[in-house]
Structure 1
Amino acid sequence: MPIHNADIIRIFEEIADLLEIQQANTFRIRAYRNAARTLQSMDKDVAVLVEQHADLTQLPTIGKDLAAKIEEIVHTGQCQALTKLRQQLPASLPELLKIPGLGPKRVHALYHELDIHTPEQLLRAARDGRILALHGFGQKTVDALVRSIESHIRQKPRLKLAEAAHYAKPLAHYLQQHPGVDEVTIAGSYRRGKDTVGDIDLLVSAADSQPVMAHFTHYDEVAKVQSSGRTRASVVLKCGLQVDLRVVAKPSFGAALHYFTGSRSHNIELRRRAQQRGLKLNEYGVFRGDTQVAGATEDSVFKAVGLPWIPPELRENQGEIAAAEAGELPNLIELRHLQGDLHAHTRASDGHASLETMAAVAKQKGLRYLAITEHSQRLTVTHGLNAEQLRRQIDQINALNDTLEGITLLKGIEVDILEDGSLDLPDEVLGQLDLVIAAIHSKFHLSRQLQTERIIRAMQRPHFSILAHPTGRLLEQRDAYDVDMPRVIREARQRGCYLELNAHPERLDLLDTHCRMAKAEGVLISINSDAHHPNDFDNLTYGIGQARRGWLEKEDVLNTRSLRQVKRLLTQTL
């Protein structure tokens, strides 16, 4: 079975989770987390490097021990270190960490003091009041926990978009290699750029479907063939991901692509529009009576119902059809429009590369400026900078800028927003920077009113520039904190500051709906990679996808502007 980066990432993350539950050495835990992050940012499967006998220790954060484990996983599909850890703890225990509100310390207490190791056991203990006896579990916490558990139990497992790509892209490439295949497209929520996907929809154009079906079901990562017919099949991969394939002839490919891209509500509305024009629209084409009048391309489908082509990211029946009819569809932002990145870290805090390396790779990616924004002192786990350390980095950046060509480093900080809304470093130091990104990294469970007021007080500080990852969510790990985003957006407009769209695949924060709110209020969004090592600049691709779902255009984004323009806009906030 081929091993993808996502497979190794899951193993390393589970090892880190189990070590945390055991309260093992924090440096050991962090090593696995960092290695997983390195693999997540790679655009090439590390298994290929293993086959080429490459030195894996040349990868950021990968030492000899982790390199040996990667090679073991690639060669055997297993990791003995994980097997040993699983034998020491109940197999279901890591599942508790997926429930919002539960971290390793709480899971440790639940297991050792109440012998809880499944979501179902936890729900019963929460309902009958046993959890209240544990330190750190008040009534409000338990009430929120019950809601989270119920939602978790009902929820069908989903993969983050970047993780799904590790499986969908190689499979699409495998299908494209078949000589009878004309075209392959990944459709569904993946094509619409949803932040998570439940399964993968593949659409193939081919004259003869049966050889393609056999090719698909014999893919070496298929664990189970759920169904296989003449033109459609459904399989479950060994990783647990369901993949549905549909094969159509060329004259129907565009109609099928539209149909299988969705969303369902968008498709229903477009079919209703077709009916109003005396047409029938389905996955095979657009028909007037029994005569097909369109369907070979998506563009022909939209033209048949009197509309221009609508980008897949907008197809949620959230006003895109009316906008298309009125000629008011946005000219969506593209990756090539970004001129800079305003959120990146180096090894001065929790990054894994030098200033020089980050600058060089950013330039290689086509960026003209890069803001270095280490964590501030409050976030000790990330080796955040104090005032004196930040001053030293300011001097380093100034000196380095004198030697750089084609790219400029901006001096910044990702400063913590404290519970009272103050910032983690004094104004005298923050005033020496080009920009100040402020973020919440603690006290996620404040009430909606308190959390909102906390953020607004921070935004009113004299050197506040950008609100980082504004809702604090981590996909499939931590829910967004409760905050009045319309109020925050209005405050940003009045204050003249900006909001970040954090492009890290685990965040994708702002939400698409909040992007639209900000656009309507005239608040600029900064699409940032939150890069911690050079490969992380590729995160920007996912940020662009999220921005497109939020209807953002080039002019709605702060860092599509030139260095001179960005400096001027940032100066207005300082």
Structure 2
Amino acid sequence: MNKKIIIRTLEKIALYMELKGENPFKVSAFRKAAQALELDQRSLDELEDVTKLKGIGKGTGDVILELVATGKSTVLEELQAEVPKGLVPLMKLQGMGGKKIAKLYKELGIDSAEALKQACLDHEIQKLPGFGPKSEEKILKELTEFDSKPGRHPIWKTEEAVEFVEDILSNIEGISEFSVAGSYRRTKETSKDLDFIVATANPAAVKEQLLAALPIQETIASGDTKVSVTVEFQDPIDIDFRLVAPEEFVTALHHFTGSKDHNVKMRQLAKSQNKKISEYGVEQEDGTVATFASETDFYAHFGLPFIPPTVREDGRELDLLDDIPLIVDLPDIKGDLHMHTTWSDGAHSLTEMIDACRSRNYSYMVITDHSEYLKVANGLTPERLLKQNAEIRELNQKYDDIEVLSGTEMDILPDGSLDFDDEVLEQLDFVIASIHSSFQQPREQIMERILTAMKNPHVDMIAHPTGRIVGQRSGYDPDIELLLDWAKEYGKIVELNASPYRLDLAVEHLEMAQEKGVPVAINTDAHAIEQLDVMAIGVRHAQKAWLKKDNVVNTWPLEKLKEYLKK
């Protein structure tokens, strides 16, 4: 449990209360409690009694204490049971807040996207006070666009589903090993469904336990060795389970990881050696079937090095074997250049984030809390930033195993100016510039804003350069090729934001950056200790672009990085 989880829970309770049509003062109380926690610079462990904070009353305090003690909220669970499930997805529609949805539910009984669409077609919406014909037309347009989105799940949703299923599989008796396969294992941005390979000598017993443990909405198929189900997990998701004999696990995992083009190339190679690959093993020239203890052994059988799942895409990986050792890998990462603390909207304190980075054996790290403009994230004023800067300098003297650099994630403002003056920026070790506002501006205006940051000699890196959220929004549509040309010209780093929500830059843009010789930093943008773990996803995403470790600045020794920043 950390402060950020409590804040999100309080905000979720407020949202569900709003959808239910509760008293606005009760709704406001939970939002005020969340804000009180957000604005306090201490982490949860540093707060002696969180319920004594100004803005937290008895009701909200009881919820917080229950969360800390049990990890759950009875209030939230009751609200989730009472509020129709179909109302929550309506929040994804642009311009549809909790109050509007509650009104539609109360006045017209609308409890789903289908009911809302029918009400629009019947012109019932425009009759309600506060809506009108234009609102109705806009809602219908949003619904149509929402319906037309491809039936694929973004990686930040599938990641949670994978963790949920892995937890179930790890507690089922009779399974010797298991792994997710398919496009998720290849770190594709989106997946149509999920695939799991499960090794067991007793498939019938495992299948029985699996079906009993999963929250199944629909059973699509249930054979002796294959189970296909639709699982209720936020948005329903289809999952295929392949139950295989332990000795077949490796070849089945390879086969169902794919991609199709990779498997075709492997089968062609096997054929040239008078062998035949299947999901059950590799048939030899003499008719015997070889099985393997690992995928490394599988590839070695054909005279190949291990090929990471991330690059098994279009078949070219078998022609670029010499490049595989050069690709960035997780052990190459020496530091993280983008993270937040309780000084802005993070869940943990400076010392807690430092200790977390030390536990990951990083040589260096940068604290980059938000700047003043981002008030929703409790952004730092110049005075607070310089006070934090002094505290970081002082803390840094305590450690001989890591260097803690002082930085900021500074907003590029809608008018094109930067949130801090040069007099402030020159006192920091590392300056990130990023856009968080006015995404709808014309491309030319967006590019002018970015150019301002590029030209500033104190700015070191452009963060999440397109502002996209995978599967949800495309961002502010910059001219990426021009942005990268500017980065090359002005000596700036571009970020690969490793958050599974962002993965920004996208693969094709990372390939372009490497071709142009623009250095990349893989950063977590962590707002809590556990989010530092997304570095692994970021690295796998970088591998898909064949990003070489020499092109990733946070694989460099600290002295090399410092020398680059001086230039």
Same fold (TM over 0.5): yes
- How far residue 127 of structure 1 moved from its aligned partner, in angstroms, is 9.0
- How far residue 118 of structure 1 moved from its aligned partner, in angstroms, is 4.3
Q: Deviations over 1:134-193 (max 9, x none)?
A: 69x8999889846632334x5255562431243132133224x42xx4432222223222
Q: 1:274 to 1:445 in 2, by over 3 A?
A: farther
- How far residue 499 of structure 1 moved from its aligned partner, in angstroms, is 1.4
- How far residue 372 of structure 1 moved from its aligned partner, in angstroms, is 1.3
Partner of 1:189: 183
1:231 to 225, 233, 246: 225
Return 337-346 or 286-295, whichever deviates more: 286-295
2:163 to 162, 166, 174: 166
Q: 1:358 to 1:461 in 2, by over 3 A?
A: same
Q: 1:84 to 1:363 in 2, by over 3 A?
A: closer
% of aligned pairs identical? 34
Q: How does 1:429-440 map to 2 (within 5 A)?
A: 429-440=424-435
Partner of 1:464: 459
- How far residue 571 of structure 1 moved from its aligned partner, in angstroms, is 2.3
Return 184-193 or 427-436, whichever deviates more: 184-193
Local SS of the residue matching 2:170: helix
Local SS of the residue matching 2:404: strand
- How far residue 416 of structure 1 moved from its aligned partner, in angstroms, is 0.7
In the alignment, structure 1 residue 329 sits paired with structure 2 residue 331: no
- Distance of 1:319 and 1:34 partners within structure 2: 53
- How far residue 211 of structure 1 moved from its aligned partner, in angstroms, is 3.6
Question: How many residue pairs get matched?
Answer: 534
Q: Deviations over 1:349-380 (max 9, x none)?
A: 11233322222222122122221111111111
Q: Deviations over 1:387-433 (max 9, x none)?
A: 22222222222222233332222111111111243211112211221
In the alignment, structure 1 residue 532 sits paired with structure 2 residue 534: no
- How far residue 438 of structure 1 moved from its aligned partner, in angstroms, is 1.1
Q: Any unmatched runs of 5+ in structure 2?
A: 39-47
Local SS of the residue matching 2:164: helix
Q: Deviations over 1:474-532 (max 9, x none)?
A: 34543433222222222212221111222233323222332222222222221222222
Partner of 2:88: 94
2:391 to 356, 379, 396: 396
Partner of 1:313: 310
- Distance of 1:118 and 1:148 partners within structure 2: 16
Q: 1:141 to 1:370 in 2, by over 3 A?
A: farther
1:209 to 199, 203, 207: 203
Partner of 1:253: 249
Partner of 1:427: 422
- Distance of 2:437 and 2:289 partners within structure 1: 58
Q: 1:121 to 1:81 in 2, by over 3 A?
A: same
In the alignment, structure 1 residue 561 sits paired with structure 2 residue 559: no
- Distance of 1:71 and 1:118 partners within structure 2: 35
- How far residue 434 of structure 1 moved from its aligned partner, in angstroms, is 1.0
Q: Deviations over 1:314-360 (max 9, x none)?
A: 12217323323xx3335332322222111122222112333222222
Local SS of the residue matching 1:291: coil
Backbone CA RMSD of aligned residues: 4.2
Q: 1:397 to 1:301 in 2, by over 3 A?
A: closer
Local SS of the residue matching 1:374: coil
Return 435-444 or 200-209, whichever deviates more: 200-209
8 Å CA contact 1:286–1:304 kept in 2: the answer is no
Q: Deviations over 1:34-88 (max 9, x none)?
A: 999xxxxxxxxxxxxxxxxxx9989xx99641342587886xxx8444544775x
Q: Which amino acid in structure 2 is aligned with residue 514 of structure 1?
A: H
- Distance of 1:414 and 1:157 partners within structure 2: 30
8 Å CA contact 1:17–1:94 kept in 2: the answer is no
Q: How does 1:288-299 map to 2 (within 5 A)?
A: 291-292=287-288, 294-296=290-292, 297-299=294-296
2:361 to 363, 366, 380: 366
Q: Any unmatched runs of 5+ in structure 1?
A: 1-6, 37-54
- Distance of 2:529 and 2:416 partners within structure 1: 32
- How far residue 124 of structure 1 moved from its aligned partner, in angstroms, is 7.2
- Distance of 1:9 and 1:183 partners within structure 2: 37
8 Å CA contact 1:192–1:261 kept in 2: the answer is yes
Q: 1:91 to 1:300 in 2, by over 3 A?
A: closer
8 Å CA contact 1:387–1:425 kept in 2: the answer is yes
- How far residue 250 of structure 1 moved from its aligned partner, in angstroms, is 4.7
Local SS of the residue matching 1:174: coil
8 Å CA contact 1:445–1:482 kept in 2: the answer is no
- Distance of 1:409 and 1:462 partners within structure 2: 22
Partner of 2:44: none
- How far residue 275 of structure 1 moved from its aligned partner, in angstroms, is 5.3
Local SS of the residue matching 1:499: strand
- Distance of 1:352 and 1:213 partners within structure 2: 40
- How far residue 568 of structure 1 moved from its aligned partner, in angstroms, is 1.8
Q: Which amino acid in structure 1 is aligned with residue 280 of structure 2?
A: Y
Local SS of the residue matching 2:197: strand
